[in-house]
Structure 1
Amino acid sequence: MAAPDDSTRNDPAGRTRVRDAALDLFGRHGVNRVTVRAIAAAAGVSPGLVVHHFGSMAALRRECDAYVVSMVRGTDDPGRGEAPDGVMSGDATGLAAMLEVATPVRRYLARAFLDGTPEAAALFDEIVEVTTAWLTDGEREGWARPTSNPRARGAIYVSWLLAPLAFSDHLERVLGIEDLYETDATVEHARVALEMFTHGVFADERALGAWDTVAKERKNP
């Protein structure tokens, strides 16, 4: 067995390596089932270095949450550099890089929300806030359609995107996918979601009209 490499004690890259290992293990097994020793082994460092960088598992989880939000925002991350926004820019290379980096993030999100902890609730709220602002910007820039309820749109959009993570076992069975979180599987099934968001599902407004009629009748019985 190779000896742990603690040469990154004062190197930000070492902190990133530990965080990435924790992100992957938290996503696969859940925060409460992962030990400092397991994270250290996955990162190739000593348990003492994990404690040196983060102090506690709670602090390490907060770092993972912050990284996930940075991925959603598409902002600079000290360990990865800038997360590319390949979807709206039309940059296929940037999108491919983002999908590769986001594979452990998808697992982490699925596990976090299934855990149902206060930390997961705060993370969900933050992602909704970011997404609501992003879609509102899209209205101004012309790539998103207007809505009468921006916050509800943001929350439902996030819920819709995260639903496959919560139902991964069922989707893998129905779609014949071995691992829904892997990049190739994401590229295949998420394309359908993007098509639905871009072009819609219904060809006319019958369903919307029926819904509005019911809503009016309930307000004015």
Structure 2
Amino acid sequence: MRSADDLTARARIRDAALVRFGADGVAGTSVRAVAADADVSAALVLHHFGSKDGLRQACDDHVLGLIRSGSAGEVEHEALAELLAEATPLRRYLARALLDGSPAANTMFSEIVDATRRWLAEGEAQGWVKPTEDPLARAVTYVSWLFAPLVLGEQVGRLLGGDVAEMRTSVRAARVGLDMLTNGLFADDRWLKAFSSVT
């Protein structure tokens, strides 16, 4: 059995890897760099995780666990909102994972879309979300909008004057996005009609 100190070291290594992978990507991160950040030896990293791929898998599993921490509907969405609002390293990691691509990243995105689709359906039933003829496309688009500032972080941050993974800039962008979703952007339906006429 592992000691409490051993388990703490494992979590510390994983958290250091989340930060490094989020900032530099998996390809740009070495086991030695993670070990130095966690203040442990590279041998201990390999002892716990076997390889850099094993370490990445542990990070993926951790983030997926946070995404799955809710049970259904609004609870799931609140868990995701907490993840995105309060955990800057996790936000960066998730954005980088989606950019780099992996089976785990595909699973993460799909599960976030599924949770969001259920959340929006619940909103329809309660009357605070407008109905749609295409709930899947709505959920995919909503989640895509949610992650776009993170994926385009350098460009968005450059124009908004801050790191989009940090709360201040993130809230600024989110507030404007919610205003657009709540109050609308266009004064008439010309663009909706134009796109609706395309077959």
Gaps of 5+ in 1: 1-5, 77-81, 89-94
Quick one: percent identity of the two aligned structures?
A: 46
- TM-score of the superposition, structure 1-length normalised? 0.72
The residue aligned with 2:183 is: 199
The residue aligned with 1:179 is: 163
Cα separation, partners in 2 of 1:141 and 1:63, compared to 1, 3 Å:
farther
The residue aligned with 2:85 is: 99
Distance in 2 between residues matched to 1:132 and 1:206, nearest whole Å? 27
2:10–2:48 CA contact under 8 A, matched in 1: yes
**Paired residues for 1:33-182 under 5 Å:** 33-75=28-70, 85=78, 99-101=85-87, 103-175=88-160, 177-182=161-166
Distance in 1 between residues matched to 2:133 and 2:59, nearest whole Å? 34
- TM-score of the superposition, structure 2-length normalised? 0.79
Shift of 1:40: 1.9
Shift of 1:59: 2.7
**Structure 1 segments of 4+ aligned residues over 6 angstroms from their partners:** none
Equivalent residue pairs, number? 194
Deviations 1:70-105 (A, max 9, x none): 4444539xxxxx9993899xxxxxx6x96232x112
The residue aligned with 1:20 is: 15
Cα separation, partners in 2 of 1:133 and 1:51, compared to 1, 3 Å:
farther
The amino acid of 1:157's aligned partner reads Y
Q: Which moved more, 1:104-113 or 1:18-27?
A: 104-113
Deviations 1:23-63 (A, max 9, x none): 11001000112122221221223333323332332232222
Shift of 1:203: 3.8
1:74–1:85 CA contact under 8 A, matched in 2: no
The amino acid of 1:39's aligned partner reads V
1:132–1:151 CA contact under 8 A, matched in 2: yes
Cα separation, partners in 2 of 1:20 and 1:145, compared to 1, 3 Å:
farther
